[in-house]
Structure 1
């Protein structure tokens, strides 16, 4: 079953899935499930979350929802642990926030044909950390959605884990 955080809808049964299934079925994209992202989720799940909400917002405004969905899945297509990069960061080296969109774009271009809007969305999703401003309205959407989804993932999933921890502690103290 494929879901986006905060949505109870099964994404494989929606028009959305038909637009992105080739990306989701790609072996490199599937490898993202093995990388932790925003502490409580995987990079694949984060990308699905961003993709789906990008799609919904852009579709609502009659903008390029297809490019929004596809770029959302590819915006974090890099294969290294974020923490490891940040520990190696040296003076003059780009921060992870500025560097990974470039890596994601190169990885995406190797696997998929991208239109200019998708490329802009991938490279500018960390704006203003990336110096160049977004060129398209859909690029501004991904900037906002990426941050919103990260907050949801961190807070919602962290809250669930905390709730389970408290539940186990209270159950253990009742049994003692």
Structure 2
């Protein structure tokens, strides 16, 4: 069963899944499962979380939910461990560099709309102040990316605390 963090729904049963199934079946996208992201999750799961919440939010407001979902799944499509990577002299920091890398990789694998490219390239705003989101959907990912990262870090932490407390009281 495919799930997003904080949701009990089986994503494979939703229209959302049909919008991104070709991405999920791609071997390169599947390779994101090999990279840890935000402590307790993988880059694949993080991207799926962001894609799902982008979709939910944009669908609710009648915006381009398909582009938001697809770009969310591709927004962190890069293949190095950011914590182990040694930056070369003059090279941009990870937060500024990886949106361009993800967009370039995604563009080689899939046909992206202008909106999808904008969503991927601008998802780190305001940390990338010269890349201001052009579309509503580009602003949504700025928020959902941070929301999902927060859930991915805090939910396992609180589960651990509550398990520890319930084990003590038993």
Decide: shared fold, TM above 0.5.
Answer: yes
* Residue aligning to 1:76: 76
Partner in structure 1 of residue 126 of structure 2: 128
**Any unmatched runs of 5+ in structure 2?**
none
8 Å Cα contact 2:47/2:72 also seen in 1: yes
1:109-165 CA-to-partner distances (Å, cap 9, x unmatched) read 111000000000001000112222011010000001100110011001222234345
* Match of residue 150 from structure 1: 149
Residue 104 of structure 1 corresponds to: 102
Which protein is bigger by CA-based radius of gyration?
Answer: 1
Structure 1 residue runs without a partner (length 5+): none
C-alpha contact 1:40 1:158 (8 A) present in aligned 2: no
Structure-1 separation of matches of 2:56 and 2:68: 9
2: CA distance between counterparts of 1:91 and 1:167? 50
Question: After TM superposition, what 4+ stretches of structure 1 lie above 4 angstroms from structure 2?
Answer: 165-168
TM-score normalised to structure 2 length? 0.94
Check the 8 A contact 2:121/2:131 in 1, yes or no.
no
Structure with greater helix share of residues: 1
Name 2:28's counterpart in structure 1.
28
Q: CA RMSD in A?
A: 1.5
| TM-score, normalisation: structure 1 | 0.91
Aligned length: 169
Task: Please list, as runs of the form range in 1=range in 2, the aligned pairs for 1:45-124 lying within 5 A after superposition.
Answer: 45-85=45-85, 88-90=86-88, 92-124=90-122
Q: Deviations over 1:75-120 (max 9, x none)?
A: 00011101012xx235532111111111101110111000000000
Corresponding residue for 2:138?
139
